[in-house]
Chain A
Amino acid sequence: MSATTSITKAGGHSSVTRLLMRNHIWVFLALTVVVFSASSPYFLTVNNLGNVLTQAAFIGILAIGMTMVMIDGEIDLSVGAILALASALAIGLQDHIGIWPAVFVGLLSGAALGFLNGTLVALSGMHSFIVTLGGLIGIRGLVFIYTGEDALMVSDFSYTDYPEIYLGPVSLTAMIFIALALFFQWVLSSTRHGRETYAIGDNIDAAHDAGINIKRHKIINFTLCGALAAVAGILLSMRLGTAEPNAGKVWELWTIIAVVLGGTRLQGGYGSMWMTIGGVLTLAVLRNGLRLLNTPNYVELMVMGTVLVLALLIDKLLSRQEA
């Protein structure tokens, strides 16, 4: 504890500024909330904030898995396609085998494809960008082969009632997102798998020399990432009652944007679920706030792009200061 304090003092920053600098996304999030609250009377209402949380949940759940993979120093571009496949299986199979078995198969498909990604990365030593870029193309092909070009529809509408379970203003979907984020924060900070994930991303050779089973941890994280993408896909299919073959297209890019915006580094070894939640909520708040202000769609896209570059610039400046 005293060591930490002295380092903090040597850096010339109080621990509060240090904390804020590490989690600068939350400062930015607070700012956007203040700005939108001041400019739209509809923004700061319990209902709207509940909606923001629900809207954030889908990218959010993808982002949880992406964070695990990214701290490992890898990337997963196939999450959008895995989401679409799980959503299609969950809806397409339920007339034949019942709702919960179909959901289970959907989950399993995500975990299996994640496992495949992880195994390919670990065994071949290929860059995960290439492996999952291939996966993005191929898995989307699987989705189209399974669904054809049309959307699948649910026939038993009790399926679409589950996301309508609310605890106050918070939907079941949002609760699942928050619960998963907290659980995986715990995994990262308090389990051996979490610690070793950081170690691998930080310095893979040192981790190897320390006797850490790198392949095993990478495969676990890719499997988790795939399974979480399937969870998001199943929740999406419940919410929409349909499964479109193009569902989740380019969502992998938004997910990466959310995670990086939060402050987790692509190079690996650095990041947390707190940061990712901050990044996800910031994207969702920006989107929601801009829509409430009736800004056209193109402003939203341009603001997102600009914010992302700014976040990168800030991160660069701050890490230079810390170093």
Chain B
Amino acid sequence: MQTEVKAFLRRHGLLAGFGLFLISVALSADAFLTPGNIFDVLRQVSITGVMAVGVTFVVITGRLDLSVGSLLTLLTVIVVDQHNTSGPAMAILITLAAGIGVGMFNGVLVGLVGLNALIVTLAMLSFLQGLVLFYSGGSNVNVQNAQTTWFAVFGRHDLLGVPVPALIFLVTAVIAAFVLNRTVFGRQVFAVGGNETASRFSGIASRWTVFWAYALSGLTTAIAAVIMGSRVMGAQNTIGQGYELTVLAGVILGGTSLLGGSGSIWRTVLGITMLGFIQNGLLLLGFPYYIQWLVTWAVIILAVWIDLGAKRGRILA
């Protein structure tokens, strides 16, 4: 019995802690667990959530993608600007293509050439920020017919009472989970992250696996940019700044290891959603806004430490 409880906590301790948090906030703030508030939180986390789904693939291969924040800015600027010049449908296509393109470029440098992922995507962060300023000329862009365009569907509308961005998040996550768990590519992603040399000896083209993981990360960032553009109906030159870190915080909180080889989509969804509910809950409890950052710090450290300690069998290294 005791070992069963231990085993359960080891596997789902994060979930249990989160449940405890939800209940205690709900007891003190009536507005917390209402459908309206829950959907608001889901709407808020959908952008980082969709991005995190793609980044999870990269992290499971044992790499990082710090360029997604800048890429989100660039793609949001592109989708809004193209909406005015080429129409919504074309704008979305161009944005998706651009996202995949940048992802592939990262993939070439990290996967095929074999350069350090942290530095390459850091360089890309800077380069893309430059590209944003080049493209926009330094000014903000706005959707001209914001009231009438069907482009508003992605960020602002509800379907059957559920916010569309939350549905996009859900669908993206389900497809990604299928790809990761039920396809050859998904198994290869785990194999490469687990032991790259062994995966190569088993005949996996590990460089290309990494390449496609980055392409996926670019694709999900493009989907996030469509939601962002639709929700804001405009884009500033810094709109995605810092998103790479929030996304990574969510992925890590979910328990996907930075060393690669382990992780899952649903854990990332859980991590990102938890961050959203923690921030929302603290605000509803009346804490000052920036307290949530302190709590995020503590939660990341505790969650990862406990996870690591459980795997190792003792808390201290």
Contacts and interface: CB of A to CB of B under 8 A. Distances in A.
Interface of B: 66, 109, 113-116, 118-120, 122-134, 138, 241, 245, 248-249, 252, 258-259, 288-294, 296-298, 300-301, 304-305, 308-309, 312, 315-317
A125 B317 contact: yes
A135 interface: yes
B132 to A, nearest CB: 8
B123 A266 contact: no
Interface string A47-63: 00000000000000000
A316 B116 CA distance: 10
A133 to B, nearest CB: 6
13 contacts: A120-B305, A126-B308, A131-B301, A134-B297, A134-B298, A137-B297, A138-B297, A140-B293, A141-B296, A257-B119, A296-B133, A296-B134, A308-B126
A84 to B, nearest CB: 13
A122 interface: yes
Contact of B123 (A127, A135, A139, A257): A257
Range class of the A interface residue count: 35 or more
Interface string A287-323: 0000000001111111011101100110010000000
B298 A122 contact: no
Contacts of B293: 137-138, 140-141, 144
B116 A266 contact: yes
Say whether chain B's binding surface is mostly helix, strand, loop, or mixed: helix
B133 A301 contact: yes
Given A141-B290, A141-B297, A316-B115, A126 B305 contact: yes
Interface of A: 120, 122-127, 129-131, 133-142, 144-145, 250, 253, 256-257, 260, 266, 296-302, 304-306, 308-309, 312-313, 316
Interface of A, helix, strand, loop or mixed by DSSP? helix
Contacts of A138: 293-294, 296-298
A130 B258 contact: yes
Given A122-B317, A144-B293, A133 B133 contact: no
A271 to B, nearest CB: 14
Contacts of A125: 308, 312, 316-317
Given A124-B304, A125-B316, 8 more contacts: A120-B305, A140-B293, A141-B290, A250-B241, A304-B123, A308-B123, A312-B115, A316-B115
A270 to B, nearest CB: 13
A134 B124 contact: no
Nearest to A124: B305
Contacts of B126: 253, 257, 301-302, 304-305, 308
Nearest to A316: B115
A300 B133 CA distance: 11
B291 A308 contact: no
A145 B130 contact: no
B248 A133 contact: yes
A312 B120 CA distance: 8
Nearest to B133: A298
Contact of B301 (A120, A299, A304): A120
A139 B114 CA distance: 34
A297 B317 CA distance: 46
Given A133-B252, A138-B294, A124 B300 contact: no
A134 B290 CA distance: 14
B113 A124 contact: no
B300 A136 contact: no
A298 B245 contact: no
Contacts of A302: 126-127, 130-131, 134
Contacts of B290: 141, 144-145
Nearest to B299: A134
Nearest to B293: A141
A297 B102 CA distance: 21
Nearest to B69: A250
Question: What 8 A-B pairs have minimum CB-CB distances, sorted nearest first?
Answer: A138-B297, A141-B293, A125-B317, A305-B127, A301-B130, A298-B133, A302-B130, A308-B123
Contacts of A130: 252, 258, 300-301, 304
A126 B255 CA distance: 12
Nearest to B128: A305
Contact of A141 (B66, B116, B129, B291): B291
B115 A309 contact: yes
Contacts of B296: 134, 137-138, 141
Nearest to B129: A301
B288 A298 contact: no
B66 to A, nearest CB: 8
A250 to B, nearest CB: 8
A313 B115 contact: yes
Contacts of A296: 133-134
A134 B130 contact: no
Contacts of B132: 298
Contacts of B315: 124
A260, A297, A301: most-surrounded residue (chain B CB, <10 A): A301
Instruction: Name, among B115, B125, B290, the residue most crowded by chain A CB atoms within 10 Å (CB to CB).
Output: B290
A313 B119 CA distance: 11
